[in-house]
């Protein structure tokens, strides 16, 4: 996770004050474990990424349905992103890798299904 903080004392640059933050999180490695052939440390990393993605989907669903409890603490990713996700001015952008290769169609469909789940 990379966080870029932009701060300014100029009201012209940031009329609402202060500045802004940009979070960049690379979730590559979230392939299906059964088809990736991951072992050892790679398997553990892929499992943790998949759990974080699932927790992120749960958070977006809870926010979208205006549930009284949003499970931010279910993963480090959602816990770190809490203030961004709760802020009405906050925005999230997901870039989904979609391959035209038929051999990776299940991975592409799974990635697109996740994108569909978290779109707001």
What digits encode the pLDDT tens for the residues 26-63? 777 666 666 677 788 878 888 888 888 889 889 988 98
Which tokens is 28 given?
A: 């590559």
Say if CB 83 and CB 4 are below 8 A apart.
no
pLDDT tens track for 56-84: 889 988 988 899 999 999 998 899 888 88
pTM for the complete prediction? 0.74
Closest CA relative to residue 28, chosen from 49, 48, 52: 49
**Residue-level pLDDT at 47:** 83
C-beta atoms surrounding 18 within 10 Å: 12
């Amino acid at each position: 996770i990379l966080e870029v903080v932009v701060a300014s004392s100029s009201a012209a640059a940031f009329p609402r004050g202060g500045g802004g933050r940009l979070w960049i999180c690379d979730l590559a490695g979230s392939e299906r474990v059964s088809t990736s052939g991951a072992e050892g440390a790679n398997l553990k990393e892929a499992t943790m990424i998949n759990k974080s993605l699932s927790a992120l989907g749960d958070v977006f669903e809870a926010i979208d349905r205006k549930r009284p409890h949003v499970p931010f603490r279910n993963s480090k990713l959602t816990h770190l992103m809490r203030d961004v996700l709760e802020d009405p001015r906050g925005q999230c952008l997901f870039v989904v890798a979609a391959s035209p290769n038929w051999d990776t169609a299940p991975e592409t469909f799974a990635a697109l299904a996740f994108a569909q789940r978290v779109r707001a």
